[in-house]
Chains A and B, each alone.
Chain A
Amino acid sequence: MRVESSEPATDVDVVVIGGGVNGTGVARDAALRGLRVALFEKNDLAFGASGNSSGMIHGGPRYLTYDPDVTYSSCLDSGHIQAIAPHLLFRVPFLMPVHAGPLAGPTLEGYDAFFTLYDRYQPLKRGKPHVRLTGTDLARLEPGLKGDLAGGVAFDEWGIDGARLCVGNALDAMRHGASVRIHTSVTEVLRRDDGAVRGVAYRDELTGEVGALRAKLVVNASGAWAPITATLGGLSPKAARLRPGKGVHVVFDRRLTNYALVAQAIDGRQVFLEPWQNVSIIGTTDDDFYGDLDQVVATADEVRYLIQAIARVFPAIRGARAIGTYAGVRPTLYAWGPNEDRLSREHVIVDHARDGAAGLFSMLGGKLASYRLFAEEMTDVIARRLRCGVACKTHTAKLPGGEEAVDPVALARRFEVEPVTASRLVYRHGARSVEVLERARRAPREARVVCPCEPVTEAEIRYVVEHELATSVDDVSRRTRLGLGACGGMRCAAPCGALVAELTGRSPEVGRGLAVGFLERAARRRLSVLGPEQLRQEGLALAAQRAQLGVS
């Protein structure tokens, strides 16, 4: 009898499906442990919930009373993320005001006790302990707060750009040998006669190229798409069952406040106003969502709900200029019955051997703050299965750009760019900013600012196309925030499209098409926030579009 090798030849050890924070996190972890990894993402990195979150790796005080494990792991991992990507984090101090009234005293005592408990977790993420404030303190700190304030508390969280976090993980995975393909759909999870997975079939959405890759294991890290991905392997969608929750945010043109504010919506839910990078964000909603995951947009109803809630503590929000919305769908774990807010933010790993598909795993649930931990747990399972003895390093190994601190002011002086250009660049690329600016030094015209709102230079656009997989204006925007400022891409989308087309060897017509596509999607996200004054602004946007791009 012939002895067959029990290990058939494979191209890679693991295929990861999904380019969000979980997928890129697993790809990085596995690559760092020396495994051969391929990641497929059908849209772009951070296209789903990871790039449309509230932009915080908060410790989850909301979960403290009924899910303290989530708070603990969030805080611990928030500390790890800080250590590996210090440039991506910024402090977001929160104020939680309490208005005068018969219940003000007990409410304040309650908050105080609650945050005393939360303070125990704060050192894990280098957060400061909470502070109890008087009404006068609050009015001084945030003059826009409304009415008769009895007092409140201040507590500490960290902000982060979720898209940059995904890009950082993907880049590091690639640096350690992983293959990362975006705009490439997995069309089928291939299985052997005995049901075990043997690889994936894929299609490049840009070129139409199809192919197959042999793999020992396949990880479904596709977030809210997980049930759909499960069906690619012939499983029932219920094998990766979720209760997807849509969350929307409204973006305002500037930092409206010094501190993030917590407010209560009409239904008692807590919502917030947060100064974030150079804009302000209000959020968020949480509603069951079963629509098209590739086309999630905020509706006017959702926008009104949020604005109404924030106006209860910060009335100036009604006069502020909203410049857009964004929406994402959380891959919340399935449960029948409870209100969306009460659904667990815990994460689980499903081994589909239970469904007859050995070697296929689904990552369900999770949140931005604990993505690294989730990825570690998943990779531990993979490593055990593949008998790889290397330990996880993702909590100490720096993400690209996090290797050393860079002083933006010194950088601005050294490369003769505006300090604000340098500081935004350093935020996004950390130590790698030097590489971007070196380009501009070699070719001085690359120092020109293409997106003045952010700002983004030509050098940075070229950099993200050449080194960070960007192939469209939308991709560049996710990596640099180009076109996400007050002008909505009116000034920068077209020149960016021209650059991207040139760098990827496509015609100027294709470049214009990329710009038009970006502007159309931006306009669609903006429509639900248009107030009477902004209608006129929208007229400007349309006129600009027609004048420059000939769109009729």
Chain B
Amino acid sequence: MSGPRGDGFPELLVIGGGVAGVAAAFAAEQRGARVTLVHDRAGATELGSGALDWLGWERDAEAPAAVLPEALLRFSDALGAWQLTDAPARVVTALGLTRPARGVQRGVLDVSLLAGRRVAVPLLPRGDWDGAALCRALARDAALSRLGVRFDPVEVSVLRFRAEEVAPSRDLAAAHDAEERARWLAERLRPRAAEAWLFGPWLGLDTPASEVLSEALGVPVGETLSDVGQAAGARLGAALARLARRHAHVVEARVTALERDGARWLARCEAPDGSPEVLSAARVVLASGGLGAGGLTLTPARAGVSGGARLELSFAPGLGLELDGAPLGAASSLHGFELEQRGRFALERLGLAPSPAPGLVAAGDALAGEARTVLRSAHTGLLAGALGA
């Protein structure tokens, strides 16, 4: 395959299949655009913890009344994975920290709905789970004592095999996709007569086993927040993939360069098997995620130029890397920019510096200066999709 495709060019090309890219595809398709979405597998979406933030949780706590945009609520309904309500939710991490959120992903226990209840926490020998320490930490939580929610460690064997003590939490979650496993677990929990159950992020990858359990036991059952790459991120990824297929032609490839060709954009791609492909569109939404996402190329140093090789974005024109609003030449320490001398959390402050180019819109984490929350990313995607349609 080479050269631009024949007739019927898609109106809009979305680069990136994370939450911002899929939102852009969704918004543009609803406005009648023909959308192609090109993505190179998992991105930051897989880091999802299951808590949904709008401004970032510290700021959400200060300004809980912010009304979410209508378009975002429609997107959430179409996605079917989120619960966004007017009242702020409260969620628990595996370490026993609670925090507010604008909403939760299905499967995550919203403790703000459990006022006055005793929540059972299973004790089990997994490295990522210390039920006793979790309960001790939660007992000191001011928000929980206001709500009157208490957590009790409970001796109950919820692992079926010895290997599950050391299996990655994602594998344990996958085991709970089987309906039979959820029924087995429900039978084990039933005699305990708890008022609610809190588990780690193990209750299903494809199916929300927590809902099956909750129905079987007649009490709320849910998970703590997920750590990176655990169940919550995988569930969001699967839901986004389903939505993308409904609203766009999905191509799995890595975009290596984005070029201007007259009035159109050409995206040079590399398919998973290494074969080249070129996609073309009048408009492009760049939702390729934060730093390290596709399109970084290494330009060998020229003689007489110090500072080592330059890393720059092949996405032309005028996109560069910036730190705190100032442009940067290279992206990594090994190629010359000595991140260790840039202070705390330098990496997190890095972003793409977009400059106006006709028909090119950036969304999500590719936008520097935006708060990097999942709802915010989705919203920038929706705006970009509307602009691009």
Contacts and interface: CB of A to CB of B under 8 A. Distances in A.
Given A494-B95, A498-B95, A542-B347, A547 B228 contact: yes
B228 A543 contact: yes
A520 interface: yes
Contact of B227 (A527, A542, A547, A552): A547
B335 interface: yes
A444 B155 CA distance: 13
Interface in B51-107: 51, 56-58, 93-97, 99
A547 B333 contact: no
Contacts of B126: 448
Given A297-B340, A535-B292, A536-B292, A498 B49 contact: no
A538 interface: yes
Interface in A64-90: none
A527 B339 contact: yes
Interface in B340-354: 340-341, 344-348
Interface in A251-287: none
Given A300-B339, A445-B125, A527-B333, A538 B347 contact: yes
Nearest to A440: B125
A513 to B, nearest CB: 12
A307 B348 CA distance: 26
B75 to A, nearest CB: 22
A441 to B, nearest CB: 13
B166 interface: yes
A533 B292 contact: yes
B127 A491 contact: yes
Given A300-B339, A450-B127, A532-B298, A539 B333 contact: no
Interface residues of A, number: 53
A448 B127 CA distance: 5
A521 to B, nearest CB: 11
Chain A binding surface SS class: helix
A536 B338 contact: no
Nearest to B99: A550
A512 B137 CA distance: 10
Interface string B281-292: 000000000111
Nearest to B336: A300
Given A449-B127, A535-B292, A540 B332 contact: no
A303 interface: yes
B225 interface: yes
A499 B133 contact: yes
Contacts of B290: 539
A297 B97 CA distance: 32
Q: Which among A449, A502, A548 has the highest number of chain B CB atoms within 10 Å?
A: A548
Contacts of A507: 140
B137 A508 contact: yes
Interface residues of B, number: 56
B279 interface: no
A260 B355 CA distance: 50
B169 to A, nearest CB: 10
Contacts of B124: 445
Interface in A496-552: 498-499, 502, 507-509, 512, 520, 524, 527-536, 538-540, 542-544, 547-550, 552
Nearest to B58: A552
B57 to A, nearest CB: 8
Interface string B104-127: 000000000000000000011111
A532 B314 CA distance: 14
A495 interface: yes
A495 B339 contact: no
B145 to A, nearest CB: 14
Contacts of B334: 300, 303-304, 307, 529-532
Contact of B332 (A450, A524, A531): A531
B133 A449 contact: no
Nearest to A416: B162
A375 interface: no
Nearest to B342: A527
B276 interface: no
Given A297-B340, A300-B338, A532 B296 contact: yes
A535 B226 contact: no
Contacts of A542: 345, 347-348
A167 interface: no
B233 to A, nearest CB: 9
B96 to A, nearest CB: 6
A86 B227 CA distance: 40
Contacts of B133: 495, 498-499, 502, 508
Interface string B240-261: 0000000000000000000000
B367 to A, nearest CB: 15
A544 B125 contact: no
A550 B93 contact: yes
15 contacts: A299-B338, A452-B166, A492-B127, A494-B95, A527-B347, A528-B339, A531-B332, A531-B333, A535-B347, A536-B293, A547-B93, A547-B226, A547-B227, A548-B95, A552-B56
Interface of A: 297-301, 303-304, 307, 418, 444-445, 447-452, 458, 490-492, 494-495, 498-499, 502, 507-509, 512, 520, 524, 527-536, 538-540, 542-544, 547-550, 552
Q: Which 8 pairs, one residue from A and one from B, show the smallest C-beta to C-beta distance?
A: A536-B292, A508-B137, A527-B340, A547-B49, A535-B292, A300-B333, A544-B228, A543-B47
